[in-house]
Every structure is written in structure tokens, then in C-alpha cells.
Structure 1
Amino acid sequence: MATKSVTDASFQADVLDSDKPVLVDFWADWCGPCKMIAPALEEISDELSEQVTVAKMDIMENTDVPGQMGVQSIPLMILFKDGKAVAQKLGAAPKSQLKQWLESEL
């Protein structure tokens, strides 16, 4: 299952009300590191699809949620469980590190 795009409008339903954890990748088209980690997140999404939904939010098209979450720098990944932000990771990292971090938080 590929990563899912979420918007300010769908955030409540797709992320906060989700019955399984959701990792939200806050990104933008102009962000080089964001593009570097995109393929890794797609693979992690496939590999961990039973345990977690991987979602992406374009901060240029959606400003409300990133503002509420205090997103200052990207790429920023925030893991939500039961409607709460429980962990976050800032910056690009190799897939192995991203996956290890995510699994340790699930």
C-alpha cells in the first residue's frame, strides 16, 4: 500500500481518528531531503502496512495542521497513535534508520 496524501480537511479522519498508528511526513515540493526519503517511506509503507499507515502532507498546500503541530523544518515525520503525536523525527535519514526508529515507536 503506497503512502496516503492527507490534507488539512482530511487530517482529523485520516490521522487522528485512525484505528492504527499513522506516520505523517510533512514535506514540500522544493525540499530536496523530502524527495530523498520519499522512496524509503513508500517501501516502509509497504513493509509495515499491517502496523502503520504512512501519510504525507504538503505544507505548502496545507498550512493549518503544520501550524498547529509547530512544523518549522522539513522533512518532519510525526507518529500519531490514538489521536496523539507520540514521536517525531526531523530530517532525512537512510531507510534502515527510518524503519528502525518507526518500529521502536510502534
Structure 2
Amino acid sequence: MIGHVTDDAFDQVVGQSKGYVLVHFWAAWCVPCRELSEVLEKVDEKMAHRLQILKINMSTEMQMATKLGVRGMPTMVLFKDGQYVKMKPGVMDQKSVEEWLEESMGPEKSA
């Protein structure tokens, strides 16, 4: 399930997380953002065991976007163990998002 995060909670939620967290910078009025939100719902269903997906609304929360250098919407930012890994601006289809994540996170390790 995709959660939401605010600027005030960002360091606690993302910065102290273990494992991968994908943060989707978006706004409700942004059509490409809504398209990416739908894609990320499907990605979450498939990859929830590997990463947590969070959304941050840039209409009301700008501090982290500015700090991370997010210039447009939608933008996805991947973190591992609270540390920045990679940023990807723009809307993508499900296959492209999954391929970008696989490339960014590396192969899944078997237990």
C-alpha cells in the first residue's frame, strides 16, 4: 500500500528506513502525476516485498523537493537505508518503472 509523507516527517520516515523507499513527488492537479500514481499502484502490488512506496504532495510540501533538487513533476527518488540512490523525473509505464527499479536496486537475492 502506498503511503504519504510530509516534509516534517520525511527524515524520520525515509531517513531512518531500512531497505528501499521510493518517493513519488506529485501534485493532484498534475495529469502526468496521476498517470504515474496509477502505474506505481501496480508496481507496489508486484514489488512491495522489495521496497516501500511513498508520495509527497508538492502543492503543500516543497522543502524536501527543494533540498533534493526536484525540478518538476512527477519525479521519483529512490533511497536505500535512508540514503539517496537515484532520481528519475517524468512519467513512465509500468515496465519502464520496474526496469529502472531493478537496475537501481540490483537483482533480488533469494532467501
The TM-score range, normalised by the shorter chain, is over 0.9
2:14 counterpart SS class: helix
In structure 2, the residue matched to 1:57 is 56
- Whether 1:83 aligns to 2:82 is yes
- 1:82, distance to aligned residue in structure 2 (A): 2.0
Question: Structure 2: how far apart are the matches of 1:86 and 1:34?
Answer: 21
Deviation at 1:30, TM superposition (A): 1.5
TM-score normalised per structure 1: 0.93
Residue 97 of structure 1: CA displacement? Answer: 0.4
**Given residue 29 of structure 1, which amino acid in structure 2 is its aligned partner?**
A
Deviations 1:21-50 (A, max 9, x none): 100000011211000111110111121111
Structure 2: 5+ residue runs without aligned partners? 106-111
Q: Where does structure 1 lack aligned partners over 5 or more consecutive residues?
A: none
**Partners in 1 of 2:88 and 2:69 — Cα distance?**
13
- Structure 1: which 4+ aligned runs deviate by more than 6 Å? none
Mapped partners of 1:26, 1:58: distance in 2: 6
Q: Point out the structure with max Rg over C-alpha.
A: 2
Task: Report how far residue 5 of structure 1 moved.
Answer: 0.3
**Coordinate RMSD, CA, aligned:** 1.0
| Distance (whole Å) between structure 2 residues aligned to residue 91 and residue 64 of structure 1 | 20
Residue identity opposite 2:90 in structure 1:
G
State the partner residue of 1:23. 22
Count of residues in correspondence between the two structures: 105
Which amino acid in structure 2 is aligned with residue 97 of structure 1?
S
Alpha-carbon shift at residue 78 of structure 1 (Å): 0.5
Percent identity between matched residues is 32
Distance 2:8 2:45 in 1: 25
> 1:60: how far off?
1.1
